[in-house]
Amino acid sequence: DVWLSNFAFNFNCLCPYGEYRYDEVNLNCGCPSAKVVGKKDADKCFGASLMRDPAHVGECLRRMKEAVDVPVTLKHRLGVRNSDHSTDDSTDNYEFIARFVDTVHELSGVEHFVVHARAAILGGLSPAANRSVPPLRYSEVHRLADDFPALGFSLNGGVETLEEAEAQLASGKLRGVMMGRAVYRMPSILAQVDQRIYGDHHH
């Protein structure tokens, strides 16, 4: 993951990535931690707060793509709100996220979006609460895949078992499912992935 929104930092920090041969570089626009979204200087905020400026995100990604020779992807939420009590949904609705994806793609050429299927609350919730209090909206991730068939979408958030992952992948429209915390809580789940998800029965 790359976190900061400063153009020069993005370019400079990516230079070593080629040396270590990472498979891809990902810009994180999903983290709602107060440490990254609550800085007094708005220009120094990053994480989920970047979603309020899709043109800026697109430019960050464009410069990142110029700096590396591996795919550049974007991780983001379905929207952002200032608090969990806010009634302002202008940056937390399907039309907003569709415009966000379209703008970012047009400006950067990025084609793979990893979508945490809930909004980010930028104030009043801990990172842990931000993974449980905002409701999951899986249908909106699938709708993005329908509306942008030339792009790839991976679904993130709340998927705890391979059965749940298989259910999300069943339509064939998603590029993947992310199971971060489920895997580090139970690493043995990975032993079944090749067989059940990819049909590889040789292990």
pLDDT tens digits for range 114-170? 999 999 998 888 888 999 999 999 999 999 999 999 999 999 999 999 999 999 999
pLDDT value of position 36: 65
Q: Residues with catalytic annotation? A: 31
- Ramachandran area for residue 61 (φ above 0: left; ψ -120 to 50: alpha; else beta): alpha
pLDDT value of position 124: 85
Q: Are strands 120-121 and 176-178 parallel, antiparallel or unpaired?
A: unpaired
Distances from the Cα of 86 to the Cαs of 81, 101, 132, in angstroms? 7, 23, 17
The helix (H) or strand (E) run that includes residue 36 is helix 34-37
Which band of pLDDT confidence, cut at 50, 70 and 90, is reported for residue 19? low
Q: How far apart are CA 165 and CA 170, in angstroms?
A: 9
**Size (the chain), residues:** 203
Q: Which of 64-73, 91-100, 105-114, 157-166 has the lowest mean pLDDT?
A: 64-73
Question: Is the C-alpha dihedral spanning 8, 10, 16, 18 positive or negative?
Answer: negative
Average pLDDT, the chain: 87
pLDDT value of position 61: 93
Q: How far apart are CA 32 and CA 125, in angstroms?
A: 9
pLDDT value of position 3: 47
pLDDT tens digits for range 44-57? 567 888 999 999 99
